[in-house]
Structure 1
Amino acid sequence: MSTPFEIASFEEYLQTVRNELPEGRKYFRGQTKPVAAGYELKPSIGRYEHLRSKSFRERDELEREVLDVFSNHLVTHVQHLPRTDWEALAIAQHHGLPTRFMDWTTNPLVALYFAVRETKKDDNGAPIDSAVYVLISDPYRFSDFHCKRQPAVRPVKDLATETASTVSGYEEFGVPGLDHEDGDAATTLSPATADEEETSEDEGSPRVPVPFEITENVIYHPPHISPRMRAQDSVLLACLKPFESLEDRDWLEIVIRQDAHDDIRRRLDQYGVFDRQLFPDLDGVAKWLRYRVFESEGTL
């Protein structure tokens, strides 16, 4: 883990994100409890300690079986069935099923919201700092699988330099060529037909693995199955080893001091990055009203 930044204000957080983070694609995750407080960076399924006693094969079979059961129940609850196991697992994650996916976002303010929305307390009742984590390892992207599956681009035939075909052009209409015996033309292949017989479009293309067969961590941008995912700029990290924490070299930590939480919550609300916007449903409206009226004693 890189040396953590310690943030005491909303402006300081913005400056840190803008000026202090390494170059390249970044993903953010806000946690009300930092790693130092025992909340490790691992998927939800990895937090069930009793599963550790199972073998790798048993855990793999369990994940697949759970997804199968969940997928069977999707039929009566969604308008569009998922096309792949990736989409099905994303829906499961969205609805609270423990999976090997971790929630991240491309929006640093969304991550800040999740870090400060609720101030946690330690065993003695004292408020604790929260944290925003930045994924800096640049994991493999799900879209890269599809890039590898694209068929090779074939050069366009140059009619000016191609040898003239012995096919007259009438054969596709069932009329023999004028200068050939019946049947001669039927045994002659045009260049396009020969190419099609030589190889099919997807021949040799690598198969996209299911989430349980990945060989490294993979960033997955799921389809917007709900307004929440769109509003939160959600991305998912499929973890190769869901029962182990992310390696220290994969992330850096931005500590958000607990005494700055109240002011940061107010600033986020002013900038439209709060309950009502990030949860565009009745739950979000209720959470926003609870904050405005009962938690911050503000005005509507």
Structure 2
Amino acid sequence: MIKEVQIKTLEQLLPLLTEQEYRPDLDRNRSPYVYRGMSDSSFKMYTSLSRNCKGLQKNLEPAILENFAKYAIQEDPNIGHSVWRQMILGQHYGLPTRLLDWTQSALVALNFATTEESLEEMDKHDCIVWRINMHEMVEILPDPYKYAVKKKHSSIFTVDMLKSLTGNSLKQYDSDMKDNAMVIIEPPSLNQRIINQHSFFAVVPTGIEDIEKFLADNTKDTVKYVIDKSLRWRVRDMLDQLNMSERIVYPGLEGLSKWIARHYYVK
């Protein structure tokens, strides 16, 4: 089930920014959620591999990863040892992969939701923030995966855990997941961008062709926050004051240039 929440005022954003669960065993509050911001509410959730290779993604994915590993070895000498590591590094440099970006920070998700390549589009359409519950995603996993992550007292997989369960095989992963489960993975800190974005990835099996239908059919705590187009500039300005901007999510000159361009944009 997917619950849709309309955001038309700044005050209505507060639950999104503060939702946490009290953990009596820790006497602390922890969030079980990860978020995904999208700049247009009409956009569907697709992986970059699906958009790029369409119906041939299953056949072309091995060649994409093999070639990336072959040419990227100078950047990461160990990249050939893990297909999951190849995906994670490639994802952040524009390689078509089956990974879908998520973040544990609602502020980071809001940043991506209120960012446009063309700033003229900012008040032309609503934007969205998706929220999924990581605990809920664990409960629908096959038993070996569920056991492995609970043994670590966690709800998040690492590259090493996924490699040990699949034998580094995409075919094994797809066979295990079929069309009714997917793993959420926390990537290793390969670069500063991953760290700053508090990145997580959904590893989408080839059996799931419609991600939103999968969430509607298999989850009960998925939320789609639709932020009204009239609010986008206001949220964007609020994020700047909270030090959440292009300078944070894209460390280096790229982010600095994007931030300066937007800061001096004339409406």
Q: TM-score, normalised by structure 1?
A: 0.66
Letter in 1 for 2:231: A
Tell me which of 42, 47, 66 is aligned to 2:51: 47
Tell me which of 246, 258, 264 is aligned to 1:275: 246
Is the CA contact 1:28–1:107 (under 8 Å) kept in the aligned structure 2?
yes
Deviations 1:91-113 (A, max 9, x none): 11111111111000010110011
Is the CA contact 1:30–1:131 (under 8 Å) kept in the aligned structure 2?
yes
The answer for the alignment partner of 2:68 in structure 1 is 70
Tell me which of 100, 103, 106 is aligned to 1:102: 100
Distance 1:261 1:77, change over 3 A: same
Distance 1:206 1:2, change over 3 A: closer
- Deviation of 1:206 after TM superposition, in Å, equals 5.3
The answer for the alignment partner of 1:153 in structure 2 is none
List alignment gaps of at least 5 residues for structure 1. Answer: 150-204
The answer for the alignment partner of 1:284 in structure 2 is 255
Distance between the aligned counterparts of 2:119 and 2:63, measured in 1?
35
Is the CA contact 2:186–2:200 (under 8 Å) kept in the aligned structure 1?
yes
The answer for the alignment partner of 1:171 in structure 2 is none
Distance between the aligned counterparts of 1:290 and 1:120, measured in 2?
10
Secondary structure at 1:272's aligned position in 2?
A: coil
Aligned length: 228
- Deviation of 1:280 after TM superposition, in Å, equals 1.2
The answer for the alignment partner of 1:127 in structure 2 is 124
**Structure 2 matches for 1:1-300, cutoff 5 A?**
1-18=1-18, 25-34=32-41, 37=42, 39-48=43-52, 51-52=54-55, 54=56, 59-78=57-76, 81=79, 83-118=81-116, 127-136=124-133, 138-140=136-138, 148=148, 207-214=166-173, 215=177, 216-241=181-206, 243-247=209-213, 248-249=215-216, 250=219, 251-295=222-266
Is the CA contact 1:111–1:132 (under 8 Å) kept in the aligned structure 2?
yes
Distance between the aligned counterparts of 1:25 and 1:285, measured in 2?
32
Q: CA RMSD in A?
A: 3.2
Runs of 4+ displaced beyond 4 Å? 119-122, 144-147, 205-209
% of aligned pairs identical? 23
- Deviation of 1:24 after TM superposition, in Å, equals 6.3
- Deviation of 1:4 after TM superposition, in Å, equals 1.2
Deviations 1:236-287 (A, max 9, x none): 1001135433324243200011100111111100001111112111101101
Is the CA contact 1:101–1:238 (under 8 Å) kept in the aligned structure 2?
yes
List alignment gaps of at least 5 residues for structure 2. Answer: 22-29, 150-163
Distance between the aligned counterparts of 1:69 and 1:237, measured in 2?
23
Distance between the aligned counterparts of 1:207 and 1:2, measured in 2?
30
- Deviation of 1:130 after TM superposition, in Å, equals 0.4
Write 1 or 2 for the structure with the bigger share of strand.
2
Letter in 2 for 1:265: R
Letter in 2 for 1:245: I
Q: TM-score, normalised by structure 2?
A: 0.74
- Deviation of 1:117 after TM superposition, in Å, equals 1.6
**Which stretch of the first structure deviates more once superposed, 129-138 or 282-291?**
129-138
Secondary structure at 1:4's aligned position in 2?
A: strand
Deviations 1:219-247 (A, max 9, x none): 11111111111000001100113543332
- Deviation of 1:213 after TM superposition, in Å, equals 2.8
Is the CA contact 1:145–1:208 (under 8 Å) kept in the aligned structure 2?
no
Structure 1 or 2, whichever has the larger Rg, is 1
Distance between the aligned counterparts of 1:260 and 1:61, measured in 2?
43
Letter in 2 for 1:272: N
Deviations 1:55-76 (A, max 9, x none): xxxx433211110111000122
The structure with higher relative contact order (CA 8 Å, sep 6+) is: 1
**Which stretch of the first structure deviates more once superposed, 108-117 or 11-20?**
11-20
Secondary structure at 2:211's aligned position in 1?
A: coil
- Deviation of 1:209 after TM superposition, in Å, equals 4.7
- Deviation of 1:211 after TM superposition, in Å, equals 4.0
Is the CA contact 2:19–2:31 (under 8 Å) kept in the aligned structure 1?
no
